[in-house]
Amino acid sequence: MSNDQTSKAATAPAKDERVKELNRFHKAIIRPELGAICGTIAVFVFFLVLAGGTSMFALDGVMNWSTVSAQFVVLAVGVCLLMIAGEFDLSLGSMVGFSGMLFALLVMQLGIPVWLAILVTLMACAALGAMNGWLVVRTGLPSFIVTLALLFILRGVTIWSAITFNRQPVVSGVGEVAAGDPVAWLFGGKAFTGLFQWFGEQGVIATFTRGTRMGQPVVDGIPMLILWAIALVLIGQWVLTRTRFGNWIFAAGGDPLAARYVGVPVARVKILMFMVAALCAALLGVSQVVEFGSAASDRGIMKEFEAIICVVIGGALLTGGYGSVVGAALGAIIFGVVQQGLFFTNVESSLFRVFLGTILLAAVLANTYIRRLITGEK
């Protein structure tokens, strides 16, 4: 062996036998988004075949399932970040109903301006999220138990407040009051209406041919909830993958003890993630009230579980420390497409729950296999 070869051999890093070597295939499948990407493609192909002749993939049909998907995306972003940090929040569905009811009662019963009511609602929900996080961090109790308790508390408070102050479980009339508020438009309005009107005039998109809306475009804009969903995904993915705080989120969920030893403020990270998740739920709750013009005490039921399923489909591990905001968003899109696709294919809507359970089980099995690849467990 020459002197140069001896020098290179001496300076080459020693191979650590504790590190499991992965081939290219294994490196590809440990990407969090891969399963969600494959699932999204499969779902679209499936409904293109079965519902291709319907209006599901016409512009109005696309806008329909995109709006439904956006509801799941908004919740899934907050849940994804929280799960990567190693925690759960089962109160988010109740938070959706609570935030909507709080906003509606502030406007209709107290006469507070819409913009101020929105601000107060968001602040109140952020405080509840912080309380959840503080209780989990300070007491050491599982977040499952703490947030399960708040699930029942918030749902009970929502129903009680509606009956006490409004004498019925639905608070109506918010739409008329919010119609002239510029801030309310950001939560329940539509963007690019002028552009869609021009598209209709040019014959690019379909228009109504009869009735009071004759000549108006069938799709008159993009709902703001869709834009909120896109913005949250972009911001969430950027924070998670491009910032030091994103590394802290992964560390807090992956190995909290080791993270504390290297200076990561684990408690602060977890509390902030609970707040982010609560704000996402409040955003959805307020948007629904502005869009529908009313608040209902039963809104948000089961949303917390559906959001968790979206995140698991997106590749997040239930043990924390691994996941992707983009994957969670794709999981939410799968939800929206399937939910609306069953309608277009005239399939019994109750089968949607069968789909949820099946895909959840498949996603957990796949994620368990991926975790074993990463950790080298048998």
Average confidence (pLDDT) over 179-207: 86
212: domain range?
Answer: 33-373
Residue with the larger pLDDT of the pair 204 and 68: 68
Contact 248, 314 (CB under 8 A): no
For residue 18, the model assigns a pLDDT of: 41
In a domain, 310, yes or no: yes
Confidence class for position 374, pLDDT limits 50, 70, 90: low
Q: What is the pLDDT of residues 338-369, one digit of tens each?
A: 888 888 887 776 777 787 788 778 777 776 77
Domain membership of residue 318 (yes or no) is yes
The widest CA-to-CA distance across the chain, in whole angstroms, is 91
Give the pLDDT of residue 22: 53
Chain segment 328-340, per-residue pLDDT in tens: 999 999 888 888 8
Question: How many structural domains does the chain have?
Answer: 1
Q: Report d(CA 242, CA 132) in Å as an integer.
A: 27
Kindly list the distances between the CA atom of residue 27 and the CA atoms of 23, 36, 238, in Å, as whole numbers in the listed order.
6, 16, 22
Question: Distances in Å between the alpha carbon of 156 and those of 31, 103, 179, 329, 346?
Answer: 41, 16, 30, 30, 36
227-233: which pairs have CB atoms within 8 A and are 24 or more residues apart? Answer: 227/191, 228/70, 228/74, 228/187, 228/283, 228/287, 229/69, 229/70, 229/73, 229/74, 229/77, 229/329, 229/332, 232/73, 232/74, 232/77, 232/280, 233/73, 233/77, 233/325, 233/326, 233/329
Give me the amino acid identity at 196: F
User: Helix or strand or coil: residue 37?
Assistant: helix
* Number of neighbours of residue 347 by Cβ within 10 angstroms: 15
Return mean pLDDT, the chain. Answer: 86
pLDDT bin (cut points 50, 70, 90) of residue 74 is very high
Domain presence at residue 24: no
Residue 79 in domain: yes
pLDDT grade for 107, boundaries at 50, 70 and 90: very high
Q: Is residue 278 part of a domain?
A: yes
Q: Does any domain span residue 222? A: yes
Task: With CA atoms as reference, report the closest residue to 239 among 249, 230, 227.
Answer: 249
- C-alpha 170/C-alpha 298 separation (Å) is 9
Q: The domain spanning residue 82 has which CATH number? A: 1.10.3470
Query: What is d(CA 220, CA 207) in angstroms, rounded to the nearest whole number?
Result: 9
What's CA 102's distance to the chain center, in Å? Answer: 21
Q: CA–CA separation, 266 vs 249, rounded Å?
A: 8
- For residue 19, pLDDT over 50 is answered with no
Q: How far apart are CA 223 and CA 65, in angstroms?
A: 12
Average pLDDT over residues 51-58: 78
Residue 118 in any domain: the answer is yes
Query: Does some domain include residue 13?
Result: no
Q: What is the pLDDT of residues 123-141, one digit of tens each?
A: 999 999 999 999 999 999 9
